[in-house]
């Protein structure tokens, strides 16, 4: 419930600080006095785009602040957005002279999206052009679902349907990706097969190059090794024989030398090392026979490795091994995506079955309430000035479900006897649309805790007894929630629990719109003006008193 509205420096309002009460409140005033400005201020408070033109004084900021009495049902919303919850909470919007705006909830800065999210929970503003909502499927379905008391079922269905829609999009992207990858898969598999056929090992290139050099020079190698071995094993002049002679000679004088024994030990160690070298050279010579066939194999393998290195613009065989692993991983990923496609398709099928079942249940519950809606709306319309009114709801099923299910509804209306009901888009006038909207919202309001509801001249185009009927309907609706109505009819204003007057003053050559709550005596005077004009008669005043009394 709106408890207080503070407006400063907004259009024709210099400063306004007004408190509101529960029940039925009517706002009256002459045409052009500024009633619509109040609605504009509320629209701005609840998320309308801010502009510099709204400032009365361009060098001062505009402030619009509303204080609301909130039930505990609002606490989850505050918790979700990590805001301090209070039974009396304040929303404030500020517009700077530069045109920038800031929003606050209980003095905590919030973004405009949060303001727009909480707005429908606080207000249901019905301006004259909003009767066009009657042509909206979302409005029709929302109304029918509310009367069918299946808001929770609708929420559950929409959660499933939203997930279903997201998975359909995900499937489409995955199918497109897989289709593109199918063309690459053959290429990747060919490259991988070619690389794996080599069975490369790390360090193999160096080993092959060494072997190639050895095999290519095996004749020279044998010749040189033979010469070296001959130097080792000549009878008297060989390296080993001479080293034995050196050791023998040294042994004869070892006792005369300070480090003789150490020198003798080192010579023996050298003998052992040279014997080992000699043995290795002999083995190498034995294994270095000419092998043209092996050389051909080594040349071919080196050629194939180098061909692939050049092809892939690499330098080492390790890089080819890593490339093989990359190709293998890529193919495994493609295989995994194919499996993911199957899994995703299964999920979509299960969700489709669930959504179909849930939408069927929604349809069943919606159809149950249609007769009651048709009967009650027709009755209300007849009571507020359309005596021959007939209201029907036509139902059809779409081939596939969307966020609302498979249902599509058309509101049919006839205002004249003998004229069959047709779609309201075709035959309902502006005044009839307004009364249709009032009848539907009245129906929806029965037993519901709705946000504050505001009607902007819902009484347009009616008068006399019909105006009284509309006023009584508004009065009845206000027993369930706070209802504010901008009206120009005394019959409706007289029925309100509270009446506010919008009027204009000229202060220092500047026009100001102001609002005040009327006392009982002031209400009688204002009603008399609404009946008989500014210079009303005593009869008009007496009529005003009778309206209040009745």
Question: With 0-12 CB in 10 A as exposed, 13-18 as middle and 19+ as buried, what is 148?
Answer: buried
403 within a domain of the structure (yes/no): no
- Least Cα distance to 415 among 426, 397, 402, 428 occurs for 428
**Partners of residue 89 on adjacent β-strands:** 68
Whether the CB-CB separation of 35 and 127 falls below 8 Å is answered with no
User: SS3 for 98?
Assistant: coil
Q: Count structural domains, the chain.
A: 3
Q: Where are the alpha helices (DSSP H) in 134-290?
A: 137-147, 151-198, 204-216, 218-233, 239-253, 260-287
- Least Cα distance to 503 among 13, 9, 114, 1 occurs for 13
217 plus 291 within the same structural domain: yes
537 plus 513 within the same structural domain: no
Choose the final residue of a domain: 293, 320, 335: 335
| Whole-number Cα distances in Å, 148 to 244, 365, 371, 410 | 117, 6, 12, 17
Long-range contacts, stretch 125-128, CB < 8 angstroms, 24+ apart? 125/39, 125/42, 125/43, 125/453, 125/454, 125/456, 126/437, 126/441, 126/453, 126/454, 126/455, 126/456, 126/458, 127/39, 127/456, 128/430, 128/434, 128/456, 128/457, 128/460
Pairwise CA distance, residues 315 & 310, whole Å: 8
538 plus 455 within the same structural domain: no
DSSP string, 491-502: HHHHH-SEEEEE
Distance of CA 220 to the CA centre of its chain: 78
142 within a domain of the structure (yes/no): no
Whether the CB-CB separation of 411 and 422 falls below 8 Å is answered with no
CA atoms within 13 A on the CB side of 317: 19
203 within a domain of the structure (yes/no): yes
Question: Tokens at residue 144, please?
Answer: 């029918």
199 plus 302 within the same structural domain: yes
Pairwise CA distance, residues 377 & 390, whole Å: 8
DSSP string, 51-90: -GGGBSSTTS-EEEEEEEE--GGGHHHHHHTT----SEEE
Whether the CB-CB separation of 180 and 367 falls below 8 Å is answered with no
538 plus 459 within the same structural domain: no
Q: Give the number of other Cβ atoms within 10 Å of residue 449's Cβ.
A: 9
Pairwise CA distance, residues 267 & 259, whole Å: 13
Q: What is the CATH number of the domain that holds 470?
A: 3.40.50.300
290 within a domain of the structure (yes/no): yes
477 within a domain of the structure (yes/no): yes
328 plus 184 within the same structural domain: yes
275 plus 326 within the same structural domain: yes
Which pLDDT tens digits describe the chain residue by residue (550 residues)?
899 999 998 888 888 899 999 999 999 888 766 777 888 888 888 888 877 778 888 888 999 999 999 888 889 899 999 999 999 999 999 988 888 889 999 999 999 899 988 888 888 877 666 666 777 888 889 889 988 989 899 999 999 999 999 999 999 988 888 877 777 777 877 888 888 888 888 888 888 888 787 777 777 777 887 878 877 777 667 777 777 777 777 777 777 777 878 887 888 888 888 888 888 888 877 776 667 788 788 888 888 888 888 888 888 888 888 888 888 887 777 777 778 888 889 999 999 999 999 999 999 999 999 999 999 999 999 888 888 999 999 999 998 899 999 999 999 999 888 888 988 877 766 777 778 888 888 887 765 666 788 888 777 777 788 888 888 888 988 888 899 998 889 999 999 999 999 888 877 777 778 889 999 999 999 999 988 888 888 888 898 888 888 7
| Domain that residue 101 falls in | 1-126+449-518
Choose the final residue of a domain: 294, 317, 335: 335
Pairwise CA distance, residues 522 & 460, whole Å: 24
Question: With 0-12 CB in 10 A as exposed, 13-18 as middle and 19+ as buried, what is 424?
Answer: buried
- Taking the chain, what is the end-to-end CA distance rounded to the nearest angstrom? 27
Long-range contacts, stretch 306-311, CB < 8 angstroms, 24+ apart? 308/194, 308/195, 308/198
198 plus 87 within the same structural domain: no
For residue 187, what are the contacts with CB-CB under 8 A and spacing of at least 6? none
Question: Tokens at residue 61, please?
Answer: 């900021």
> At 353, which helix (H) or strand (E)?
helix 317-383
User: SS3 for 464?
Assistant: helix
190 plus 74 within the same structural domain: no
User: SS3 for 15?
Assistant: strand
Taking each helix axis from N to C end, the angle separating 151-198 and 137-147, rounded to the nearest 10 degrees, works out to 120
227 plus 201 within the same structural domain: yes
355 within a domain of the structure (yes/no): no
Choose the final residue of a domain: 290, 307, 335: 335
Pairwise CA distance, residues 186 & 184, whole Å: 6
190 plus 63 within the same structural domain: no
Question: Hey, CA dihedral for 51, 57, 60, 62, is it positive or negative?
Answer: negative
Pairwise CA distance, residues 47 & 65, whole Å: 12
Pairwise CA distance, residues 114 & 539, whole Å: 52
Whether the CB-CB separation of 492 and 467 falls below 8 Å is answered with yes
DSSP string, 293-309: HHHHHHHHHHHHHHHHH
Question: Hey, CA dihedral for 432, 433, 436, 438, is it positive or negative?
Answer: negative
Structure letter (DSSP) for residue 419:
-
For residue 392, what are the contacts with CB-CB under 8 A and spacing of at least 6? 374, 411, 412, 413, 421
User: SS3 for 508?
Assistant: coil
Phi/psi of residue 399, each to 5°? -65, -35
508 plus 527 within the same structural domain: no
Q: Encode burial over 28-58: b for 16+ CB neighbours within 10 A, e otherwise.
A: bbeeebbbbbbbbbbbbbbbbebeeebbbee
Pairwise CA distance, residues 194 & 199, whole Å: 10
Question: Tokens at residue 455, please?
Answer: 């009607």
384 within a domain of the structure (yes/no): no
Whether the CB-CB separation of 489 and 384 falls below 8 Å is answered with no
152 within a domain of the structure (yes/no): no
Pairwise CA distance, residues 127 & 40, whole Å: 11
Q: Give the number of other Cβ atoms within 10 Å of residue 62's Cβ.
A: 24
């Amino acid at each position: 419930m709106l408890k207080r509205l503070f407006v400063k420096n907004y259009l024709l309002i210099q400063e306004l600080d007004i408190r509101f009460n529960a029940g039925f409140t009517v706002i009256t005033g002459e045409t052009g006095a500024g009633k619509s400005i109040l609605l504009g201020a509320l629209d701005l408070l609840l998320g309308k785009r801010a502009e510099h033109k709204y400032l009365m004084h361009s060098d001062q900021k505009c402030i619009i602040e509303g204080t609301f009495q909130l039930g505990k049902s609002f606490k989850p919303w505050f918790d979700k957005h990590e805001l301090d919850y209070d039974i009396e909470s304040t929303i404030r919007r500020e517009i700077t002279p530069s045109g920038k705006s800031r929003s606050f909830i209980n003095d905590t800065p919030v973004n405009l999206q949060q303001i727009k999210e909480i707005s429908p929970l606080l207000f249901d503003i019905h301006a004259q052009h909003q009767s066009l909502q009657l042509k909206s499927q979302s409005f029709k379905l929302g109304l029918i679902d509310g009367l069918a008391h299946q808001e929770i079922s609708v929420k559950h269905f929409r959660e499933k349907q939203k997930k279903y829609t997201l998975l359909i999009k995900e499937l489409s992207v995955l199918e497109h990706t897989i289709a593109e990858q199918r063309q690459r898969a053959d290429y990747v598999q060919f490259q991988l097969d070619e690389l794996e056929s080599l069975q490369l090992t790390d360090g193999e290139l160096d080993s092959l190059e060494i072997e190639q050099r050895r095999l290519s020079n095996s004749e020279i190698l044998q010749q040189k090794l033979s010469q070296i071995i001959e130097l080792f094993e000549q009878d008297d002049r060989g390296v080993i024989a001479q080293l034995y002679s050196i050791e023998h000679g040294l042994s004869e004088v070892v006792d005369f030398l300070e480090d003789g024994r150490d020198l003798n030990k080192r010579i023996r160690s050298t003998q052992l090392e040279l014997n080992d070298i000699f043995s290795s050279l002999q083995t190498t010579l034995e294994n270095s026979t000419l092998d043209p066939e092996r050389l051909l194999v080594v040349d071919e393998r080196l050629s194939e490795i180098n061909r692939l290195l050049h092809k892939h613009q690499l330098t080492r065989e390790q890089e080819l091994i890593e490339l093989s692993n990359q190709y293998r991983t890529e193919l495994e990923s493609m295989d995994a995506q194919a499996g993911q496609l199957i899994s995703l398709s299964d999920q979509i099928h299960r969700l489709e079955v669930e959504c179909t079942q849930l939408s069927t249940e929604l349809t069943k519950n919606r159809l149950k309430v249609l007769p009651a809606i048709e009967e009650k709306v027709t009755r209300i319309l007849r009571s507020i000035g359309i005596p021959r009114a007939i209201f029907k709801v036509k139902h059809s099923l779409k081939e596939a479900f969307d966020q609302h299910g498979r249902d599509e509804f058309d509101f049919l209306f006839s205002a004249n006897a003998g004229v069959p009901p047709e779609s309201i888009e075709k035959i309902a006038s502006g005044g009839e649309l307004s009364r249709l909207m009032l009848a539907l919202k009245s129906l929806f309001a029965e037993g519901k805790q709705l946000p504050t509801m505001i009607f902007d001249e819902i009484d347009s185009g009616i008068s006399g007894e019909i105006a009284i009927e509309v006023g009584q309907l508004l009065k009845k609706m206000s027993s369930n929630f706070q209802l504010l109505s901008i009206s120009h009819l005394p019959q409706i204003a007289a029925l309100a629990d509270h009446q506010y007057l919008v009027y204009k003053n000229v202060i220092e050559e500047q026009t100001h719109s102001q609002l005040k709550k009327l006392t009982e005596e002031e209400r009688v005077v204002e009603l008399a003006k609404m009946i008989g004009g500014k210079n009303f008669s005593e009869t008009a005043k007496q009529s005003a008193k009778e309206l209040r009394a009745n």
